Amino acid sequence: MNLTAQLKLEPTARQALALRATLVASNAACDYISGVAWESKSFRRFDLHRRCYREARKRFGLSAQAAVRCISKVADSYKLDRKAKRSFRPMGSAAYDQRILSYNLEASTVSIRALEGRLRISFVCGEHQRKMLVSRKGETDLAFVRGKWYALASCSMPNPKTTEPCGFLGVDLGVAQIAADSDGKLYSGSGIKSVRHRQRRLRAKLQSKQSRSAKRRLQKLSGKERRFAKHVNHVISKQIVAAAERTGRGIAVEELTGIRDRIRATRRQRGVLHSWAFAQLRAFLEYKAKLAGVRLIAVDPRNSSRECSVCGHAEKRNRPNQSTFRCAACGFAAHADTNAACVIAGRAAVSGPNVASCAAV
Ligand SMILES: [Zn+2]
């Protein structure tokens, strides 16, 4: 599986200036090449190389390899369509291959070919990222994000062997709760909500002022919210995968269509968590499970919120309100999300592989 290792670079002030100049030159070169492509209506890599290579090197002081990268980047950008001229932000990230960017893991440095020559820059990262770096392959993106420099290295991790699960931990991705598992644990979204609430009020205030600085602050705010929700999703998915791993179980979730339908159904609460946050949590669960060798299966979502996890009776009356489940047939009562998670776990056990031979967990 392919993952990205994120390393924070710690350039000296002088190195930071050199990095900036390099990124700006590379993006200016991309803009120039894009202009030539657009004017001459030649978008293929080969044609662009013939038309732009020399001039791009001369005009922007690029190394041979950097010029080749810029030409590829522009050619790729026109692959989707050729309806609009592409332009490149001055500080947009740039891809480097091994010839112009290499790592020294012992010294924790990265060597980058900048305009003015090689730069040897220290980086910091966690143990996990360091392990990933061993299996890096090919490209690294140099990125400048919110005033800091990062190297984003693509790494090809060996797929861990998935262990045969003994039963499944059912997970219900909800609205009132971010997630609930079939062990009865609720992963609350209250943290996100309170931040959102506070920020929504601030946003309303900013929106009434249409000045440029207010607009900028608005943009920044949504980024902050996104990053916070992402953090929460990382934490929750990690906890769920750890719980399954610890007990030798697989993870059962609903098929994605179920989640989309659910979001549609609760329009009233849509402002609480956007659909991308669900999709993100789901994607995090998937890759973290894969990384840990935990099997994840998706089950049919139909009626999972109305069905009784004990007797299987399903009807609307079983859900007197958003958070309560009370079976009209057998009287079983639980938090609605917990019951749904148990139904999902039960469906996985029926359709899952080799579960019959395991002892019940
Ligand atoms: Zn029942």
359 in a structural domain: no
Same domain? 137 vs 56:
yes
pLDDT at 352 over 80: no
Which is higher by pLDDT, 290 or 264? Answer: 290
- Are 19 and 93 part of one and the same domain? yes
Cα of 334 from ligand 1 centre, angstroms: 11
Number of domains comprising the chain? 2
Q: What integer pLDDT is reported at residue 70 of this predicted model?
A: 94
Judged against a pLDDT cut of 80, whether residue 297 lies above it is answered with yes
CA of 211 to the centre of ligand 1 (A): 58
Question: Are both 179 and 326 inside the same structural domain?
Answer: yes
Whether residue 197 lies inside any domain: the answer is no
Tell me the mean pLDDT in the region 36-62.
95
Confidence at 43, pLDDT banded by 50, 70, 90: very high
User: Could you tell me if 9 and 123 are in contact, meaning their C-beta atoms sit under 8 angstroms apart?
Assistant: yes
Note whether 110 and 258 are same-domain residues. Answer: no
Which domain range does residue 342 map to?
168-189+236-351
pLDDT > 70? residue 254 = yes
Is position 229 within any domain? no
Dist. CA 308 → ligand 1 center (Å): 5
- What's the pLDDT tens digit per position in 66-108? 999 999 999 999 998 899 999 999 999 998 888 889 999 899 9
- Average pLDDT over all residues of the chain: 84
Whether residue 82 is found in the same domain as residue 14: yes
What pLDDT does 256 receive? 73
Q: Is residue 9 part of a domain?
A: yes
Which has more confidence, 315 or 200? 315
Q: How many CA atoms lie within 13 A of 284 on its CB side?
A: 22
Beta bridge partners of 297: 252
Does 204 map to a domain? no
pLDDT at 177: 74
**Are both 77 and 113 inside the same structural domain?**
yes
What pLDDT does 360 receive? Answer: 37
181 and 90 both lie in a single domain: no
Q: 215 in a domain, yes or no?
A: no
CA 124 / ligand 1 centre spacing (Å): 54
- Predicted pLDDT at 257: 64
* pLDDT for 9: 96
Q: Does 360 fall in a domain? A: no
> How many angstroms does the Cα of residue 8 sit away from the middle of ligand 1?
53
Please name the amino acid found at residue 337. Answer: D
Predicted confidence (pLDDT) at residue 204 exceeds the cutoff of 80: no
Ligand 1: centre distance to CA 248 (Å) = 28
CA of residue 178 relative to chain centroid, distance: 17
How far, in Å, from the CA of 295 to the mean position of ligand 1? 29
Ligand 1 center to 317 CA (angstroms): 12
Rounded Cα gap, residues 318 and 313, in angstroms:
9
Residue 201 has pLDDT above 70, yes or no: no
Residue 152 shares a structural domain with residue 269: no
Instruction: Please give the pLDDT value at position 194.
Output: 52
Return the pLDDT at 315.
93
Least confident of 206-220, 224-238, 308-322: 206-220
Residues comprising the chain, all counted: 361
- Same-domain pairing of 172 and 317: yes
* pLDDT tier for residue 271 given thresholds of 50, 70 and 90: very low
Residue 327 alpha carbon to ligand 1 centre in Å:
5
Residue 245 lies in a domain: yes
Percent of the chain at pLDDT exceeding 90: 53
- The 10s digit of each residue's pLDDT in 157-197 is 777 788 788 899 999 987 667 899 999 998 876 655 555 55
Residues in CB range of 326: below 8 A, 6 or more apart: 318, 320, 332, 333
Whether the predicted pLDDT of 16 surpasses 90: yes
Q: Is pLDDT of 226 > 90?
A: no
Say whether both 172 and 274 belong to one domain. Answer: yes
Same domain? For 19 and 58 the reply is yes
Is the pLDDT reported for residue 269 higher than 50?
A: no
pLDDT at 299: 92
- Give the residue, 116 or 26, on which the prediction is more confident: 26
116 and 182 part of one domain: no
Interaxial angle between packed helices 13-40 and 45-60, expressed in degrees from 0 to 180 and rounded to the nearest 10: 140
**pLDDT for position 127:** 87
- Residue labelled with tokens 């697989």: 250
Compute CA distances 237 → 34, 194, 243, 280, 286, whole Å: 41, 20, 10, 10, 9
pTM for this entry: 0.67
